[in-house]
Amino acid sequence: MTKPLSILLVEDDQIEIMKFNKTVASLSIKCDIKEANNGEEALQLLLLKDQLPDIILLDLNLPKVNGLEFLKIIKNNTSLKHIPIIILTTSDSYKDKKECFKMGVAGYMTKPLKYEDYISKITKTLFYWNESELISA
Amino acid sequence: MNKLLQHQINTCLNDFEDISLLQPFLEAIHSSYTNYEEQLKLPTNTSEEKIQTKLVSENKLLLKKLETQHEELNNYSNIVSHQLKSPLVNICTLTNWVKEDYANKLDNKATETLDLILSNVEKANTLINGILEYSTIDKIEIGNYSVDTHNLAEKMIGCFETPNTLKITIANKLPKINGDTHRLSLLFQNLIQNAINYSKPEGGEIVIGVKDKGLNWQFFIKDNGIGIEEVYHDKIFNAFNKLSSKVNSAGIGLSIAEKIVAYYKGEIWVKSKINKGATFYFTLPKE
């Protein structure tokens, strides 16, 4: 028996969310997806200690609390900082990348324009993390 | 002189029985006038200093304002590009979904149109990426360190998938210089890309090399492609000036290269004749 890969997607763009869900549904691995439209909502979900995600996919361009601030909060939180966070954003700016890696992200992906490239990226990423040993709290 | 005025002057003169009594008045008027003249000609030392200090502090204020505006513009261009990119990605996603979901209902013309939408969106995206790169390349803070440009050039050449008919070689040993890999990679990448874009379709050759010019290293990248008319030698470094609409690029590669070279206080120029290839030269200071 295999546990599904539990993912917290922090993304405010509804089309991006649809795209992600559609892509994951077509994969051969089992995934359990929770969505948060902004940092606040995500933090609310992360209060549930018995339902922590295996990985977090984080967009940097969020309303209210922006991605970098959210990242900082998680990394400063002793019960949450172990969760691998993978950035999934439109920005490929050197500054953003460096800041994120300094704070300790497990990966940084830019949202590709071409649909096929997106599917390929997400597939490879989720297959990779599915192979990894992970802890939920 | 009319009669009235004459009369007034006479009355005035009559009041002074002795014209000599007018003398002190005239002298007083004369001395105050001279004083006034002197004050006009030579500003005193203190007022000069005051003006200078005022100018200096105004200058400082202006510089500070310019700096803040520069920083704001920088952040602004960052934010604008990211905000602009999201809807572009969405247009691509939705167009792909229409193609997929209605595949059996769309004729060739419809699919062609949808593909045109996708290719135009790609162009817009490339442009935004170009603008972002151009506006931030001289502002990112990375420290300077010794960079082996030979190593770097080889790495960049390896990044390009070129047909077997195109040869890219390095003529001599490229030196170590002070800088950072981010900017220097981009510099070489853009110049090599440019050379590839305008190279001969068959038997194309690109050569990279360097010359010792005392205080500087003078690098060159030479191709035997279609060349550039002298008229355009300056224009090509301007953003978005492409010399061929067939080339799929933002037209900003050379402007970014120029900005990077300027960041290192070097210079960049081109020597070329139409159909006789082009050689791009750029200088970088020695370590």
pLDDT at residue B1 in the model: 42
Mind listing the pLDDT tens digit for each residue in B155-198? 999 999 988 899 999 999 999 999 999 999 999 999 999 999 88
Report CB contact under 8 Å: B90, A13: yes
Dump pLDDT digits (tens) for B37-58.
Answer: 676 665 556 777 788 888 888 8
CATH architecture for the domain at B145-285: 2-Layer Sandwich (3.30)
User: Is residue A51 domain-resident?
Assistant: yes
Tokens for B46, please give them. 């203190």
Query: Percent of chain A at pLDDT above 90?
Result: 83
> Which residues in chain A are contacts of B94 at CB distance < 8 A?
15
DSSP letter, residue B237: G
What span, in angstroms and rounded, lies between the C-alpha atoms of A39 and A41?
A: 6
Of the candidates B89, B90, B132, the beta carbon closest to that of A93 is on B132
Q: Please judge whether B136 and A95 are an interchain contact, meaning their C-beta atoms are less than 8 angstroms apart.
A: yes
Is A137 a member of any domain?
no
Q: How many domains are there within chain A?
A: 1
SS3 for chain A is CCCCEEEEEECCCHHHHHHHHHHHHCCCCCEEEEEECCHHHHHHHCCCHHHCCCEEEECCCCCCCCHHHHHHHHHCCCCCCCCCEEEEECCCCHHHHHHHHHHCCCEEEECCCCHHHHHHHHHHHHHHHHHCCCCCC
Residue B222 has pLDDT above 50, yes or no: yes
Residue B216's closest CA among B274, B175, B257, B272? B175
Q: Token pair of B7, please?
A: 């009369």
Distance from CA of B84 to the nearest CA of A (A): 9
Closest approach of B95 to chain A, Cα-based (Å): 10
Q: Which residues of A touch B129 (CB under 8 A)?
A: 92
Nearest-CB residue to B86 (from A90, A92, A118) = A90
B62 confidence band (pLDDT: 50, 70, 90)? confident
Q: Label residue A136 by pLDDT band (50, 70, 90).
A: low
Higher pLDDT, B77 or B173: B173
The A-side interface with B (CB below 8 A) comprises 13, 15-16, 19, 60-61, 89-95, 111, 113-115, 118
A51 to chain B, closest Cα gap in Å: 30
Give B90 to chain A, closest Cα distance, Å.
Answer: 7
**Average pLDDT score over residue span A82-95:** 92
Q: What is the CATH number of the domain that holds A26?
A: 3.40.50.2300
More confident residue, B26 or A9: A9
Q: Cα separation of B167 and B104, whole Å?
A: 45
Select, from the ranges A38-42, B242-246, B247-251, the one with the highest average predicted confidence (pLDDT): A38-42
Q: Containing domain of residue A25, as a range?
A: 5-131
Per DSSP bridges, beta strands A85-89 and A107-110 are parallel
* Domain boundaries of chain B, sorted by first residue: 3-41, 67-136, 145-285
User: What type of residue is B203?
Assistant: G
What does the pLDDT read at residue B242? 72
Task: Identify whether A126 is part of a domain.
Answer: yes
**Amino acid identity, residue B89?**
V
Question: Which two three-digit tokens encode residue A16?
Answer: 């991006």
A23 part of a folded domain: yes
**Does the beta-carbon distance from B85 to A13 stay under 8 Å?**
no
Q: Which of B93, B132, B182 comes nearest A15 by C-beta?
A: B93
Report the pLDDT value the prediction gives residue A94, as an integer from 0 to 100.
86
> To the nearest whole percent, how much of chain A has pLDDT over 70?
98
CB contact under 8 A, A95 and B140: yes
Q: What is the pLDDT of residue B4?
A: 58
Distance (Å) from the alpha carbon of B92 to chain A's nearest alpha carbon = 7
Pull the structure tokens for residue B180: 């950072």
Nearest CB partner across the interface for A113, out of B89, B94, B136: B89
> How many angstroms separate the CA of residue A44 from the nearest CA in chain B?
26
Query: What pLDDT shows up at residue B21?
Result: 57
pLDDT reported for residue A28 = 94
Would residue A61 count as lying in a domain?
A: yes
- Contact status, residue B93 vs residue A17, Cβ threshold 8 Å: no
**Does B119 contact chain A (CB < 8 Å)?**
no
Res B81: pLDDT: 73
How does pLDDT run across A29-82, given as a tens digit for each residue? 999 999 999 999 999 999 999 999 999 999 998 988 889 999 999 999 999 999
Higher pLDDT, B116 or B39: B116
Higher pLDDT among residues A18 and B203, named by residue: A18
pLDDT at A57: 98
Note the pLDDT of residue B243. 72
Give the Cα separation of A105 and B40 in Å (integer).
Answer: 70
- Token readout for B70 is 């520069």
Would you call B223 helix, strand, or coil by DSSP?
Answer: strand
Looking at the domain assignment, is residue A119 inside a domain?
yes
Q: Are A123 and A29 in contact (CB under 8 A)?
A: no
CB pairs under 8 A between A and B: 47
| Statement: residue B12 has pLDDT above 60 | no
Q: Would the CB atoms of A61 and B93 count as touching at under 8 Å?
A: no
Tally Cβ neighbours within 10 Å of residue B79: 12
Contact B268, B281 (CB under 8 A): yes
**In the predicted model, what is the mean pLDDT of residues B124-136?**
87
- Residue B204 near residue B167, CB atoms below 8 Å: yes
Residue to substitute from B93, B115, B185, interface A, most A β-carbons within 10 A: B93
Residues of B in contact with A94 (CB under 8 A): 136, 140, 142, 182
Question: pLDDT digit string (tens) for B251-276?
Answer: 889 999 999 999 999 999 999 999 89
Asked whether residue A136 is assigned to any structural domain, the reply reads no
> What pLDDT, on a 0 to 100 scale, did the predictor assign at position B247?
63
Q: Could you give the angle at which helices B181-197 and B149-159 cross, rounded to 10 degrees?
A: 50
Residue of A nearest to B129 (CA): A92
User: Mean pLDDT throughout B135-164?
Assistant: 92
Q: Which residues of B touch A89 (CB under 8 A)?
A: 82
